[in-house]
Amino acid sequence: MHYMPQQKSFLPPSTIARDISEASPPRDASQSGSSGKPEEVTMYVPVQEAADVPDAIDMVVSAWEVAGAQPPPQHALMPPVSSHLSAWSALPAASYWVINTIKRGYMLQFARRPPRFGGVIMTEVSEQSAPLLRAEISSLLAKQAVEIVPEERRNSGFYSRYFLVPKKDGGMRPILDLRLLNKALAKRTFKIITVKQILAHIQPDDYFIAVDLKDVYFHIQIAPHHRRFLRFAFESVAYQFKVLPFGLALAPRVFTLCMNTALAPLKLSGMRILNYLDDWLVIARSRSALEEHKHRLFAHLAGLGLSVNIQKSTLQPRQSITFLGMILDSCTMIANLSEPRVQSIHNTLALFVQGRAIPLRTFQRLLGLMAAAASVCRLGLLHMRPLQHWLQGRVQPRAWRAGTERLIITRSCLETLAPWFGTTIFEGAAMGRVVRRVVVTTDASLSGWGALCDGRPAFGTWAGDQTRWHINCLEMEVVHLALQSFLPFVKDRHVLIRTDNTAVVAYINRQGGLRSRSLQGLARQLLLWTDRVLLSIRAVHVPGSLNCGVDMLSRDGIVHGEWRLHPQTINMIWNLFGKAEIDLFASQENAHCPLYFSLTASPLGGDALSSRWPKGRKYGFPPVKLMPLVLQKIREERCALILVAPKWPNQPWFPELVNMAPSPPWRIPPRRDLLSQARGTIWHPNPELWDLHVWQISVEYISECCRQ
């Protein structure tokens, strides 16, 4: 797959709005809300919409003057999905862009002039591979995935070389070398579910089936006048793709957005579907419920013209299933790397022999396997860092692209790989959500340190070499010292570290880093120790102080997760659902109730997710990134709640929320000042993107949900 590099800058609101109108169900979770920062897999790159491209460029993209030929005639609607256009148009979350893509085919989204015709580039393969390529082209023709270019039009368009790569099932996968074409495409954004989200979404004793779509991208047609950019030639015959090909940088994004739209009605009804490209995991609380969901899903897909690969799917409900190279077991609540994935790592490691010269691409393959496995390997990312540091000091940045430079395997290189030769790292990772954590707050200065745990203090001063350490290293050392001081209270518990140092937060949550070797060393010592004595450790950044208005913007910018609903909107909620007495997620500035939980000083104490909820009518407007934990906490507390949340059906937690509410939610009327900060002086630029609703969570429905 091709993902765009992550950018540090933020999109202007107008660009965000354009992305949303095209890309996804309006106001859905594919946009970054203010309640939390985007996931790491969300890449925000400002680009212009096709509508904003000057007329001259638009003519280049949509006309045939570039190639010196006339455009082909427009064809009728293209099977299979376009023949089900009425069903797609009836989907509740269908955006104009998705419907237009289904109806007319996908139009390549160019950021600049597409490559000009450079001649018919003939694909050449070895004599042994030629029969395979012929068979694959015949298969593509039979599937109507490609078509032969008429002789009078073959000297136009853009040609790429075509090749095959082996698939896991022993077949061959067609790949166009579209690297040159991809450089002309816009860098667009999209969200895709992560392994962490999948693991967090699974509950004890869940039942699973796995659905694999047939031919993946081939469901999405290419607009006829853009097929000329997807040409290849073999044995004197020119072909062009009629469907999304593998190798197109934007293909994963286009496919994901269309499938999110297709699945939205099922998710809105409460069906739990986790879709990662063409691999879908369907989950239910009972075998019978899952069977019913399976039949509904198949009928729904057939109505949209989508085909399921029965041979590759796992359709018998079970509590242990292989999905995305992981074995998910809801009885043990452990996720393990599948045996083929483990074997792939071991096979690659076998190439690392002391004294042997290995090409850089072999290191890249090993790092890729490690990164893919890290979420279900014990301290997987931490055990990747030594090899990354070893390469960092030996490989020039420009050498990474070619991957041909050879490196001699040394003893120190093999030492960095030691954990991966063992078995401990493959013992698996726990699934489910961590709701309750022991909170430890730490701080450091150049002279000393201090920490708090449930009101208990710990403090000390620096001595010897520590007085010359960088402040980031001191802040990391404080965490280790604090946990050692509070060991009787944190042992065998989940722990949350609160610190005002962003580097410490990053190195704990990402299990190290590459910027600072000294900070990496301290983080490694900490994480190896906590792996033995704690259940888990996470860190959050807590600013030293929050200021109002311009001062807040000049120092910290917008504070994610601190938006306050307008008082008039709150009064409407009280009139409809009853006035609440307890605000579960608030601060002194934005609390709507006399009693509230807050990470800063509050009448009810700190983290609402780590505390018992008192009796009384409760209200909550949690940060979106906390929604899975909030729903799990509601299950534990078994209490009624007035919950404000976005209506984002493509979020993994959304079906669970639907199942907890006895009636449809009430949509909050939009207004420009709906969400604000700093005593109303800062307004959210696009509050309508949130599509906020009020959900009345029922005790009876929570109990029923837990029994299902």
* Domain harbouring 146, CATH code: 3.10.10.10
DSSP 8-state symbol, 690: G
Whether residues 425 and 447 fall in one domain: no
Statement to judge: residues 114 and 222 lie in one domain: yes
In a domain, 287, yes or no: no
Question: Please, how many CA atoms are within 13 Å of residue 254, restricted to the half-sphere of its CB?
Answer: 29
Measured distance between the N- and C-terminal CA atoms of the chain, rounded to whole angstroms = 37
91 shares its domain with 176: yes
Token code pair at residue 503: 């580097």
| Whether the Cβ atoms of residue 282 and residue 208 lie closer than 8 Å to each other | yes
- For residue 614, being part of any structural domain is answered with yes
Predicted pLDDT at 80: 67
- Give the number of domains in the chain: 4
168 and 60 within one domain: yes
Helix (H) or strand (E) holding 355: none
- 79 burial (CB, 10 Å; 0-12 / 13-18 / 19+) is exposed
Instruction: Give Cα 278 distance to the centre of its chain.
Output: 15
Give the chain's length: 708
Same domain, 425 and 451: no
Residue 606, pLDDT score: 66
Domain boundary among 430, 451, 479: 430
419 plus 461 within the same structural domain: no
Dist. CA 605–CA 596, nearest whole Å: 8
**Contact call for residues 643 and 694 (beta carbons, < 8 A):** yes
Residue 316 lies in a domain: no
What range does the domain containing 570 cover?
Answer: 563-707
259 found inside a domain:
no
Q: Which amino acid, one-letter code, is at 388?
A: Q
* Claim to verify: residue 175 and residue 99 sit in the same structural domain: yes
**How far is the C-alpha of 665 from the C-alpha of 697, rounded, in Å?**
10
Give me the pLDDT at residue 701, please.
64
* Strand blocks (E) in 532-578: 536-541, 564-565
| Residues 457 and 490 reside in one and the same domain | yes
Instruction: Write out the two tokens for 258.
Output: 């269309």
Say which DSSP state 30 is in: T
Q: Could you tell me if 409 and 455 lie in one domain?
A: no
Q: What integer pLDDT is reported at residue 221 of this predicted model?
A: 94
Same domain, 572 and 670: yes
Give the C-alpha separation, 670 to 688, whole Å: 6
Predicted local distance difference test score (pLDDT) of residue 199: 95
The candidate with the shortest Cα–Cα distance to 337, out of 424, 419, 274, is 424
Cis peptide before 174 (omega within 30 of 0): no
Phi, psi of 449 (to 5 degrees): -145, 160
- Name the domain boundary from 430, 460, 486: 430
Specify whether the backbone of 350 is left (phi greater than 0), alpha (psi in -120 to 50) or beta.
Answer: alpha
User: Is 671 found in the same domain as 687?
Assistant: yes
Name the stretches of the chain with pLDDT < 50: 1-78, 546-557
Separation between Cα atoms, residue 480 and residue 464, nearest integer Å: 18
Long-range contacts of 663-666 (CB under 8 A, 24+ apart): 663/696, 665/693, 665/694, 665/695, 665/696, 666/576, 666/577, 666/693, 666/694
CATH number at residue 680: 3.40.50
Structure tokens at 415: 């030492």
CB 394 within 8 A of CB 384: no
Q: Which helix (H) or strand (E) holds 547?
A: none
Q: Say if 638 falls within a structural domain.
A: yes
Answer with the one of 365, 400, 430 that is the final residue of a domain. 430
Beta carbons of 536 and 495 less than 8 angstroms apart? yes
pTM of the model: 0.75
Whether residue 235 is contained in a domain is answered as yes
Residues 386 and 484 in one domain: no
Which CATH number goes with the domain that contains 450?
Answer: 3.30.420.10
Q: Is residue 73 part of a domain?
A: yes
Q: Is residue 285 part of a domain?
A: no
Which residues pair with residue 458 across a beta bridge? 451
Compute the distance between CA of residue 217 and CA of residue 226 in angstroms, rounded to an integer: 16
